[in-house]
Amino acid sequence: MISLKGKKILFLSVSFFKYEKAIAKRLAEIGAEVDFYDERPSNSNLSKGIIRLNKNFYHLKINKYYNRILNEIQGKKYDYFFLIKGEAIPTFFLEKIKENNPEMGMIYYNFDPLSEYPNLIAHLKYFDKKFTFEYNDSVKYNIGFRPLFYLDEYKNLSRNHQPSDYDFVFIGSAHTDRYIVGEKIRAAADQLHLKSYFYYYAMGRIAFRLKKMIDKSLKQFDITKVSFDKLNHHQIIDFYKRTKSVLDINKPFQNGLTIRTFEVLASGRKLITTNFDIKNYPFYCPNNILVIDRENIHLDPDFFTTDFMEVDQEILYKMSLDSFIECLFDHNQDEYWNSFRKN
**CATH assignment of the domain containing 56:** 3.40.50.2300
Tell me whether residue 138 is in a domain. yes
Q: Name the pTM for this structure.
A: 0.90
At residue 170's C-alpha, the angle toward residues 147 and 287, to 5°, is 65
Q: What is residue 227's predicted lDDT score, i.e. its pLDDT?
A: 73
Are both 19 and 126 inside the same structural domain?
yes
Q: Does 169 share its domain with 229?
A: yes
Helix (H) or strand (E) holding 273: strand 270-273
pLDDT at 216: 62
pLDDT in tens, the chain (343 residues): 899 999 999 999 999 989 999 999 999 999 999 999 999 886 655 455 545 555 555 678 899 999 999 999 999 999 999 999 999 999 999 999 999 999 999 999 999 999 988 989 999 999 999 999 999 999 999 999 999 999 999 987 766 667 789 999 999 877 778 888 998 999 999 999 999 999 988 765 555 565 655 566 666 666 666 777 878 888 999 999 999 999 999 999 899 999 999 999 999 999 999 999 999 999 999 999 999 999 999 999 999 999 999 999 999 999 999 999 999 999 999 999 999 998 6
Nearest to 324 by CA among 238, 266, 279: 266
- Residue 266: domain span: 152-318
What is the rounded (10 degree) CA torsion for 175, 18, 270, 309? 150
Displacement of CA 114 from its chain's centroid (Å): 14
DSSP for 140-181?
HTT-EE----B-HHHHHGGG--PPPSEEEEEEEE--TTHHHH
Q: Are 257 and 283 in contact (CB under 8 A)?
A: no
326 shares a domain with 312: no
Q: Which residues contact 28 (CB under 8 A, 6 or more apart)?
A: 34
Query: What's the pLDDT at 195?
Result: 97
Residues 181 and 141 in one domain: no
157 and 143 within one domain: no
In a domain? residue 1 = no
Answer yes or no: is 343 within a domain.
no
pLDDT of residue 50: 47
Backbone angles phi, psi at 342, to 5 degrees: -100, -15
Rounded to 10 degrees, the C-alpha dihedral 298/221/255/317 comes to -80
The most distant pair of C-alpha atoms in the chain lies apart, rounded to whole Å, by: 65
Question: Is residue 159 located within the same domain as residue 304?
Answer: yes
Residue 182 sits in the same domain as residue 79? no
Q: Is the same domain home to 168 and 294?
A: yes
Give, as one character, the DSSP assignment of residue 247. E
φ and ψ of 276, to 5 deg: -65, -20
Pair (159, 295) in one structural domain: yes
